[in-house]
Structure 1
């Protein structure tokens, strides 16, 4: 009888551990999928921005309120982007969200 209880306990522990591992893997996969969807949406929005013959995005600079043609880096920030400046941060966010003013 004691062996039967040990076996039950061992099986219960192993099944719980497998369940925890499965749940952890599922959460990780869900997070990766959400991140991939977000990246796809940002790239799609940035791709929809009008560009000139050289592939530069035609945007209106929020900082200087002038029309510019700027290349976008891998994080979809214009070449004129200055880290830490609120207008530049807002501009980069608008490019990713597809709300940037263009010409």
Structure 2
């Protein structure tokens, strides 16, 4: 009985590992196709929506509100507060092009 249980557990782990690898590969492929990778210069990806003045439309992680902000060449929005975990995460998302927008 233990052998059957051990085989079943191993089989399920292998199956889960294959599914994880497929999901990981599909995620990477999707990011490459959408151009969602970080740009070499750290500039804002052109895929982010902007208003008429060229400001990026994003949803603030810290205050959970919609806003339009200028983003500098370094990829930091004008509302950025150094050391704040939500702001640090927002900068990473802006550079990756995956920030929540409206």
TM-score by length of 1: 0.58
Task: Name the counterpart of 2:99.
Answer: 100
Aligned-pair CA distance for 1:68? 0.5
1:78·1:92 contact (CA, 8 Å) conserved in 2?
Answer: yes
Q: CA-to-partner distance for each residue in 1:4-28, whole Å, 9 max, x for gaps?
A: xxxxxxxxxxxxxxxxxxxxxxxxx
1:60·1:68 contact (CA, 8 Å) conserved in 2?
Answer: yes
Contiguous gaps of at least 5 residues in structure 1 = 1-36
- Please give the alpha-carbon distance, in whole angstroms, between the structure 2 residues aligned to 1:38 and 1:70: 19
Contiguous gaps of at least 5 residues in structure 2 = 1-37
- Please give the alpha-carbon distance, in whole angstroms, between the structure 1 residues aligned to 2:39 and 2:52: 28
| Higher gyration radius (CA) | 1
- Please give the alpha-carbon distance, in whole angstroms, between the structure 2 residues aligned to 1:101 and 1:53: 19
Higher fraction of helix: 1
Instruction: Work out the number of aligned pairs and report it.
Output: 65
Aligned-pair CA distance for 1:75? 1.1
Within a 5 Å distance, the mapping from 1:4-23 to structure 2 comes to none
Task: Name the counterpart of 2:87.
Answer: 88
Task: Name the counterpart of 1:66.
Answer: 65
1:46·1:98 contact (CA, 8 Å) conserved in 2?
Answer: yes
- The answer to whether the aligner puts 1:39 opposite 2:40 as a matched pair is yes
2:39·2:45 contact (CA, 8 Å) conserved in 1?
Answer: no
Task: Name the counterpart of 1:49.
Answer: 48
